[in-house]
C-alpha cells in the first residue's frame, strides 16, 4: 500500500482519553478512532492486524477439527428465556443490549452465542452417530459495559472468536476441551504472546471447569496467582492458597468484650489489643439476593466474593450498606461479629478462621471487640469453606512453593459447559441403547480485537509499536527518502513492486516528507522491518534494512532485499 493513499494519519499529540500505552499508540498510529464510548472504527492498519489474528485463529481452530460458521448478532429474547439467562443478562447484570422492535418483539445483541448455537445443534443432532460436533465463528459481539475503558481492551462492541463443542458424554468433552486447549496454546505462541494459562472461575456462562489464557501485562485487569515452584496458576478470583499455621494458646481464656474506640481496620486493632493480626477476624456482611450472609475471614485475609457467590449459588452478592449493618448488628460499621446476629443471618467462615484458640472478632456493639473467642464454647461452628482471596506470599495449594502474583489480560477463555444449556434447551440425542441423553457441551472464546490491544500493550517502546511479523499489518515499511531524485523514485518504485511480487506485505512511504518525519512515523506504526532507500544508499547500489526492534541497520543489495527481509522475519524474531 502506498502511504500517500493510506487512510489513517499519524498524530503527534497523545489523545487525551487514552489511558494505556496501547490505546495511545494505536490512536496516534492511525490504527483506530473512537466513534462513541467503547465503540471504535478499525482503520485499515488495525483491520489488517485483526484479519491476521483471525486467520491464525481460524487455521488453528480448523486444524483442531472445528468448522467455521456465522450466527446472527441479533437474537430473539425467547431463546435466552429458554436457557434461563435473560433476566440475569438484562436485568441483574445488565450487560446485554436489548430492545423492542416495531412489532413489539424483544431482541438483543448477542454478547455470546450459547443459546443460538444450541438451537442450531438441537435441530441437527438426533443420534449419537451425529456426535461429536465442533463449530466456531469470528464475529462482532456486544456488551453494554457500564464503563468501557482502555480502548479495545474493554469495549462495548468487539470482535470475538467463539467455538462450541458437542459431545455424547463427559469423556468426549474431555477430548474436545483438550483439543481446544492445545489450539489456544498454539494460537498464543504463533502470535508471540508472553502469556500464561490459568484456572478460572466460569462466572455467568456456567459450567464445571475452565481455563483462561492471560497475556502478562501490568495494565491487565485480572490478577493471576501462580506458584514459584510447581505449575499451579489460577485467576485470583478462583485461586486457592494455604496459610502458615501458628502456634496456639494451650488453654482457652474467658471471652470478654474490650473497648477499643474508633479502631477500624485490623492493623491498628491488633496493635491496640497486643495480639497478632492473624488472631483478629473480619466479619463482612453481604446481601445475597434477598438473604443476608455474614462471612468471616482471618484478619490478615480478605473475602473472595466470587467464592462466596459460588458457594451460595446466589445471583447477586453485595456488601450490605452501613444502615443495613446497623440494623442487623446494632453497631456502626466496623464492629460486626458472628456472635449475637439475628438467626436469619447465615454465617460462613473461611477454613483458616477455624483452628484458632482465643481469637478476636467484632462484638456487634460500637467500639467493642470480643477477645479470647473460641468456637464451640462462645458460638456454634459456622459453615466452613474456602472463602479467602489467595495472595502473593501464601503457600501453594498443591506444593510447598510460595504463590506469586502478576497482572494479566484475559485473551482467551475455555469452558466445560456440561449439560447446562443442552438440558435447558432440550438439545438431546438417542444413545446406542435408544435412550434420550443431553448433549455435553464446551465453549471456547478468544477476544480477537482485545488480542491486538494486548499485543501492543506487551510490545512497544517509547517510539511506538513493535509488531511481530505474524500479526503486523504489513511486514515491511519501505521508506523512500529524497523522492525528488529521479533515481531514488525509480528504484523505490521498482523495489516496491519487487517485494510485492515476492509475496511480502509492503507499506510504501512514498510521501514527499523529510526523513525525520518518515522515520518517526515508521517507528510509531511499528512494522517489523524497515527498508530505507535514499540517494546515500543508492550510491552503493544498496538499500538499508533494519528491524524495528534493533538499533543497528545493514546495507543490502537491492536484488537481495526481499530475500533478506524473509530471512529476518523468519527466524528468532522475538
Partner RNA sequence: CGGAGCGUAGCUCAGCCUGGCUAGAGCACUUGGUUUGGGACCAAGACGUCGCAGGUUCAAAUCCUGUCGCUCCGACCA
Interacting residue with RNA among 284, 348, 424, 476 (CB under 7 A)? 284
3-state secondary structure of 404: strand
> What are phi and psi for residue 154, nearest 5 degrees?
-135, 85
What is the arrangement of strands in the sheet containing 346-350, beginning at the earlier edge strand?
A: 317-319, 281-288, 291-298, 346-350, 383-385
Nearer to RNA (CB atom), residue 105 or residue 316: 316
Distances (CA, A) of 390 to 7, 86, 402, 550: 48, 32, 11, 40
* 475 C-beta neighbours (distance < 10 Å), count: 21
Measured distance CA(283)–CA(333) in Å, rounded? 11
Nearer to RNA (CB atom), residue 114 or residue 144: 144
Q: Is 37 in the site for RNA (CB under 7 A)?
A: yes
> What are phi and psi for residue 240, nearest 5 degrees?
-105, 160
Measured distance CA(453)–CA(8) in Å, rounded? 17
As measured in angstroms, the least distance from the Cβ of 341 to RNA is 13
Interacting residue with RNA among 5, 7, 36, 570 (CB under 7 A)? 36
Binding segment (CB under 7 A) for RNA, from list 213-221, 225-233, 281-289, 470-478:
281-289
Measured distance CA(8)–CA(261) in Å, rounded? 62
3-state secondary structure of 234: strand
Q: Is 254 in the site for RNA (CB under 7 A)?
A: no
Measured distance CA(433)–CA(33) in Å, rounded? 58
Q: Is 362 in the site for RNA (CB under 7 A)?
A: yes
Binding letters toward RNA, positions 150-179, x by CB under 7 A: x-----------------------------
Q: Is 319 in the site for RNA (CB under 7 A)?
A: yes
Interacting residue with RNA among 69, 70, 264, 399 (CB under 7 A)? 264
Interacting residue with RNA among 1, 10, 378, 385 (CB under 7 A)? 10
Q: Is 520 in the site for RNA (CB under 7 A)?
A: yes
CB 113 within 8 A of CB 162: yes
Q: Is 147 in the site for RNA (CB under 7 A)?
A: yes
Q: Is 487 in the site for RNA (CB under 7 A)?
A: no
Nearest to 361 by CA among 382, 386, 385: 382
Distances (CA, A) of 278 to 251, 375, 393, 396: 18, 16, 15, 19
Q: Is 417 in the site for RNA (CB under 7 A)?
A: no
Note the residue count of the chain: 574
Binding letters toward RNA, positions 529-548, x by CB under 7 A: ---x-xxxx------x-x--
Q: Is 317 in the site for RNA (CB under 7 A)?
A: no
Nearest to 321 by CA among 307, 342, 336: 336
Nearer to RNA (CB atom), residue 84 or residue 334: 334
As measured in angstroms, the least distance from the Cβ of 335 to RNA is 6
Interacting residue with RNA among 131, 379, 481, 506 (CB under 7 A)? 481
Q: Which residues contact RNA (rule: CB under 7 A)?
A: 9-17, 19, 34, 36-38, 146-150, 264-266, 280-285, 299, 302-303, 305, 319-320, 322, 325, 333-336, 362, 389, 463, 481-482, 484, 513-517, 519-524, 532, 534-537, 544, 546, 553
Amino acid at each position: 500500500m502506498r502511504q500517500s493513499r493510506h487512510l489513517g494519519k499519524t498524530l503527534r499529540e497523545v489523545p487525551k482519553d487514552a489511558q494505556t500505552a496501547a490505546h495511545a499508540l494505536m490512536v496516534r498510529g492511525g490504527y483506530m478512532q473512537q466513534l462513541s464510548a467503547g465503540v471504535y472504527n478499525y482503520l485499515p492498519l488495525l483491520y489488517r492486524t485483526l484479519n491476521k489474528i483471525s486467520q491464525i485463529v481460524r487455521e488453528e481452530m480448523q486444524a483442531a477439527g472445528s468448522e467455521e460458521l456465522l450466527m446472527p448478532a441479533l437474537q430473539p429474547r425467547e431463546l435466552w428465556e429458554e436457557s434461563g439467562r435473560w433476566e440475569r443478562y438484562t436485568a441483574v447484570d445488565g450487560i446485554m443490549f436489548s430492545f423492542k422492535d416495531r412489532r413489539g418483539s424483544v431482541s438483543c445483541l448477542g454478547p455470546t452465542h450459547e443459546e443460538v448455537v444450541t438451537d442450531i445443534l438441537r435441530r441437527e443432532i438426533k443420534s449419537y452417530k451425529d456426535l461429536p460436533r465442533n463449530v466456531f465463528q469470528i464475529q462482532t459481539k456486544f456488551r453494554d459495559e457500564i464503563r468501557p475503558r482502555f480502548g479495545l481492551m474493554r469495549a462495548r462492541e468487539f470482535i470475538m472468536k467463539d467455538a462450541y463443542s458437542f459431545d455424547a458424554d463427559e469423556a468426549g468433552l474431555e477430548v474436545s476441551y483438550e483439543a481446544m486447549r492445545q489450539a489456544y496454546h498454539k494460537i498464543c505462541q504463533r502470535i508471540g504472546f508472553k502469556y500464561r494459562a490459568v484456572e478460572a472461575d466460569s462466572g455467568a456462562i456456567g459450567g464445571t471447569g475452565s481455563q483462561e489464557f492471560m497475556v502478562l501485562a501490568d495494565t491487565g485487569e485480572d490478577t493471576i496467582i501462580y506458584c514459584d515452584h510447581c505449575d499451579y496458576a489460577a485467576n485470583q478470583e478462583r485461586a486457592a492458597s494455604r496459610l502458615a499455621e501458628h502456634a496456639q494458646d494451650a488453654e482457652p481464656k474467658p471471652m470478654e468484650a474490650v473497648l477499643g474506640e474508633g479502631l477500624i481496620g485490623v492493623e491498628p486493632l491488633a496493635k491496640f489489643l497486643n495480639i497478632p493480626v492473624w488472631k483478629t477476624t473480619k466479619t463482612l456482611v453481604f446481601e445475597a439476593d434477598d438473604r443476608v450472609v455474614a462471612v468471616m475471614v482471618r484478619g490478615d485475609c480478605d473475602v473472595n466474593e466470587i467464592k462466596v457467590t459460588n458457594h451460595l449459588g446466589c445471583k447477586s452478592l453485595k456488601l450490605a450498606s452501613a444502615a443495613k449493618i446497623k440494623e442487623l448488628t446494632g453497631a456502626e460499621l466496623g464492629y460486626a461479629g458472628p456472635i449475637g446476629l439475628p438467626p436469619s443471618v447465615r454465617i460462613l467462615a473461611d477454613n483458616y478462621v477455624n483452628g484458632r484458640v482465643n481469637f478476636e472478632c467484632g462484638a456487634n456493639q460500637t467500639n467493642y471487640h470480643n477477645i479470647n473467642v473460641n468456637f464451640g464454647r462462645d458460638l456454634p461452628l459456622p459453615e466452613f469453606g474456602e472463602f479467602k482471596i489467595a495472595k502473593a506470599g501464601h503457600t501453594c495449594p498443591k506444593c510447598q512453593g510460595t504463590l506469586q502474583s502478576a497482572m494479566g489480560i484475559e485473551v482467551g477463555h475455555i469452558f466445560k459447559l456440561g449439560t447446562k444449556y443442552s438440558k435447558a434447551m432440550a438439545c438431546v440425542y438417542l444413545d446406542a441403547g435408544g435412550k434420550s441423553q443431553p448433549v455435553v457441551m464446551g465453549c471456547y472464546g478468544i477476544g480477537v480485537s482485545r488480542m491486538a490491544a494486548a499485543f501492543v500493550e506487551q510490545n512497544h517502546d517509547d517510539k511506538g509499536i513493535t509488531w511481530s511479523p505474524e500479526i503486523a499489518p504489513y511486514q515491511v515499511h519501505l521508506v523512500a527518502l529524497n523522492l525528488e531524485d529521479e533515481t531514488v523514485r525509480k528504484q523505490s518504485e521498482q523495489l516496491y513492486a519487487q517485494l510485492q511480487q515476492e509475496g511480502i506485505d509492503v507499506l510504501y512511504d512514498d510521501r514527499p516528507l523529510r526523513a525525520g518525519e518518515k522515520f518517526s512515523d515508521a517507528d510509531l506504526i511499528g512494522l517489523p522491518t524497515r527498508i530505507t532507500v535514499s540517494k546515500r544508499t543508492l550510491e552503493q547500489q544498496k538499500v538499508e534494512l533494519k528491524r524495528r526492534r534493533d538499533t543497528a541497520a545493514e546495507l543490502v543489495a537491492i536484488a537481495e532485499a526481499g530475500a533478506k527481509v524473509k530471512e529476518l522475519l523468519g527466524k528468532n524474531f522475538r
